[in-house]
Amino acid sequence: MSFRSANIATTAPYLIAALLSAAFVLTILGRPYVLAAPQARRPQAAAKNNDQATLIARGKYIVDGVAGCGYCHTPRDQDGNPVHSRWLEGGPVFYEPARPLQGWANTVPRLAGLPPGSDAELIKLLTTSVARTGKPPRWPMPRFYMTRSDAEAVVAYLKSIDVKH
């Protein structure tokens, strides 16, 4: 009896350590499989839709939050407030330069739905500040030098806007 109890007493800590180590290793090795398995089974169309939604959300953040495109490209009411139901639909420029400036635009184009120009032309404008004409855009349009991925996100967002008018 003393032999057996002495054997268990010396073996038990090693056995517990081995079991805990095995459980730890199985947890670590099992986790990526458990997390990756549902994503691996996801159809490609769903993944593409998710990627497109992410791109559009990024474009919305840039257009509405960073670049402030709606400030000029949204029509104003009689009190000078943006008409949110016509977001990014273009209209007259609602302010003038302090002194006359040659080439100042009087109207701004619609950006919502079908922005002016091809995707490639818009991306070139947003990444290089070179318009379809081969020149910089007319004032008061600011000069942008976005990354290509930011410009692609902006174009995706603009094209996603549903124009009701």
- DSSP string of 107-155? EE---SSS-SS-HHHHHHHHHH---TTSSPPPTTSPP----HHHHHHHH
N- to C-terminal Cα distance for the chain? Answer: 93
Domain limits, the chain:
1-41, 44-160
pLDDT in tens, 19-56: 566 555 455 455 444 444 445 555 666 667 789 999 99
In DSSP terms, 92 is beta-bridged to: 107
- pTM equals 0.69
pLDDT in tens, 81-121: 999 999 999 999 999 999 999 999 999 999 999 888 999 99
